[in-house]
Amino acid sequence: MPVRQLSEAVVNRIAAGEVIERPASVVKELAENAIDAGATRVEIAIDGGGRRLIRVSDDGFGMTHADLDLAVERHATSKLAEDDLLDIRTLGFRGEALPSIGSVARLSITTRHAGEPHAWALSVDAGERSEIKPAALAAGTRVEVRDLFFATPARLKFLKSDRAESEAIRDVVRRLAMSRPEVAFTFLEEGRSPVTWAAALPGAHGQLARLADILGADFRENAVEFDQGREGLRIQGFAALPTLTRANSLGQYLFVNGRPVRDKLLIGAVRGAYADYLPRDRYPLLAVFITLDPHEVDVNVHPAKAEVRFRDPGLVRSLLVRSLQEALMRDGQRAASTGGSATIAAFRPALQPRRGWDWRRSTARPDPRGMPLATRGNTAFGFAEVAQAAFDVGAPSANVTLHEPASATLDQPLGAARAQVHENYIVAQTRDGLVIVDQHAAHERIVYERLKAALDKTGVARQILLIPEIVELDEADAERLAARAGELLRFGLAIEAFGAGAIAVRETPSLLGEVDARALLTDLAQHMAEWDEALPLERRLLHVSATMACHGSVRSGRRLKAEEMNALLREMEVTPNSGQCNHGRPTYVELKLTDIERLFGRT
């Protein structure tokens, strides 16, 4: 068959395969256009998972007759003024979206530019464009896409269920909405009530408001702000306290110059920053906004622009880790209110016990005849001793009345200890609320921080091996490890290159006891290849410290005196990160007086 030039319709359809993967890609392209057009309000309506209808309306600049004429042509865009792909300041720039959509669906565009007397409309039906006709529209642009992929039935077959496609669309809209708090978004979907995110103020406050709208009110209460800049790079955003986590990384959002992207750099950096607080399989919620000179980042990596490439990924990563760590240190003592509000939710007004409680008639209860003593309430001793009768020795009461707080301690952040209950929980009173502390978790964190500080100061003791262990790795891994020998030495692991593709382990951290050097090095090499850091080793050392901390701290079941409780509270106030135990659980929860009053309906 001779070589021939493909027809434009076919070319567009091929291009559509890359740009328009599924309905969510259409929504993304159209909504980005709306934002690039300077819209302050964007309305997105879908039906049938976006298959039947996608409609995006905005109040942006609109297009003139001439613009509209060109807009549906391939590689036509208004967004790339100088043909400079290195200086991209808009979300789109490829000029592929509208023609691609037009080639696989029924597309109609209605737009009104301020300079035109009325609006113009144009429709494209599987690549067949109509004439531009006058139309009615007050301002902005409305793009309607019907019967997506009807021109490419094969693609239609690959779509998932309507539900899954809707969810993908919602995710796209959520990400865009997070990146532009100053734009109001309305999302309409067949069979669901409309969702509206009102325009928020620009700046961090508005950003948090929008994030809270999308990620839930929990996020607002448990987020810490970070904002750091260096060399034209600014990293800013909100991260959840380690007590608010998910089981997967879907709650982590990254925006580069306002563009929602997915990048494993983020996941790696977050993992590094939270290593000290979270178990491996928990992921904190967070939203990171990176702003940098467009020349420093290449967005033209992926047709859908879901990935970006930084010119200096190391700088971005280290700044991100540092910002997160500093934010967490700063707010490390803050207890998550998730616990507190969950507690509030768990409180129920006590039910009045019914008069004729029938356990009294159950066989477990001793025959009351011939029981000279009051036994009511004392027979229910649990399964073990159901049948054991007991004297009336008075009602149960915890020894809670003894500690009159000094007024000065009430002013401390964690207040004055009033009592210990269930031999593990310290109840403390503050000026405006009540704090409940898990004594073991709290003390464990304090001891752990102390151990860590000692480790930093004295360094990790190294055990010299009688016979150096030679670990064979692939060459790249071996080189990577050898290049970082200095850093590893700080953690007590002395290695050196041993010919090509082998590493000799001469000393290991004595804290780890007997070390499986091969497994450790393989683990390290893999992690370094991926994340460029020596986290596994550090994590192992910290894990040992954490175990030591656990054994060296006050156990639950130990009765503490008032002075000891207060000493613990004061120590918590000055210990970094004392709001979480080593497993990411809160060490204390705080109930504000207003919360307590709300429980009793007093507010």
Partner 1 sequence: MKVTVERSALLKSLGHVHRVVERRNTIPILANVLIQAENAKLAFRATDLDLEVTETIPAEVGPSGATTVPAQMFYEIVRKLPEGAQIVLEASGDRAVLTIRAGRARFTLQTLPVSDFPDLAAGDMTHSFKVSAADLKRLIDKASFAISTEETRYYLNGIYLHAAGAAKAATLRAVATDGHRLAQVELPLPAGADGMPGIIIPRKTVGEVQRLIEDGEAEATIELSPGKIRFTIGDVVLTSKLIDGTFPDYGRVIPLGNNKELVVDKAEFEAAVDRVSTVSSERGRAVKLALTAGKLTLSVTNPDSGSATEELEVEYESDPLDIGFNSRYLLDIAAQIEGETAVLRLADPGSPTLIQDRESKGALYVLMPMRV
CB of 519 to partner 1, least distance (A): 34
CB of residue 451 vs partner 1: minimum separation in angstroms?
A: 14
Residues that bind partner 1 (CB under 8 A): 364, 366-373, 378, 383-394, 396-399, 402, 422-423, 443, 552-555, 558-561, 563-565, 567-568, 571
**Cα–Cα distance for residue pair 458/21, rounded to 1 Å:** 56
- Nearest approach, Cβ of residue 562 and partner 1 (Å): 9
Closest contact distance (angstroms) between CB of 412 and partner 1 is: 15
| DSSP-assigned letters across all residues of 473-516 | --HHHHHHHHHTHHHHHHTT-EEEE-STTEEEEEEEEGGG-S--
Q: Give the residue with the Cβ less far from partner 1, 215 or 442.
A: 442
* C-alpha–C-alpha distance, residues 497 and 486, integer Å: 12
Going by C-alpha positions, the residue among 353, 545, 307, 516 that lies closest to residue 448 is 545
How many whole angstroms separate alpha carbon 362 and alpha carbon 367? Answer: 10
Smallest CA-to-CA distance from 14 within 96, 128, 70 is with 96
> How far apart, in whole angstroms, are the C-alpha atoms of residue 203 and residue 293?
19
- Return the closest-CA partner of residue 47 out of 171, 162, 172: 162
* DSSP strands (E only) in 262-377: 283-284, 286-291, 297-298, 309-310
Task: Pick between residue 243 and residue 424 the one whose CB is nearest to partner 1.
Answer: 424
Q: In terms of CB distance, is 188 or 554 closer to partner 1?
A: 554
Tell me the C-alpha distance between 331 and 354, whole Å.
47
Q: 190 by DSSP, 3-state: which?
A: coil
Report, in Å, the least distance between residue 27 CB and partner 1. Answer: 56
CB closer to partner 1, 383 vs 600: 383
Neighbours of 15 (CB within 10 A): 20
CB of 444 to partner 1, least distance (A): 10
User: Between 503 and 572, whose beta carbon lies closer to partner 1?
Assistant: 572
Rounded CA-CA distance 321/407 in Å is 41
The minimum distance between CB 398 and partner 1, in angstroms, equals: 6
Beta carbon nearer to partner 1, 321 or 417: 417
Core vs surface per residue 570-591: b (16+ CB within 10 A) or e? ebbeebebbbbbbebebbbbbb
Of 201 and 421, the one with the shorter C-beta distance to partner 1 is 421
Q: Please name the residue ranges forming H helices in 8-161.
A: 8-19, 23-36, 65-71, 97-104, 153-158
Nearer to partner 1, 150 or 425 (CB): 425
* Nearer of residues 387 and 464 to partner 1, judged by Cβ: 387
- Cα–Cα distance measured from residue 104 to residue 23, given in angstroms and rounded to the nearest whole number: 11
Q: Answer for the pair 273, 224: CB distance below 8 angstroms, yes or no.
A: no
**Shortest distance (Å) from residue 435 CB to partner 1:** 16
- Please identify, using beta-carbon distances, which residue of 349 and 394 lies nearer to partner 1: 394
Shortest Å, Cβ 556 to partner 1: 12
Q: Which is nearer to partner 1, 350 or 384 (CB)?
A: 384
Q: Which of 52, 51, 55 is nearest to 23 (CA)?
A: 51
Residue 571 CB, shortest distance to partner 1, in Å, is 7
Gyration radius (Cα) of the chain, Å: 32
- Residue 241 Cβ, how far from partner 1 at the closest point, in Å? 24
Q: Structure tokens of 390?
A: 């007991």
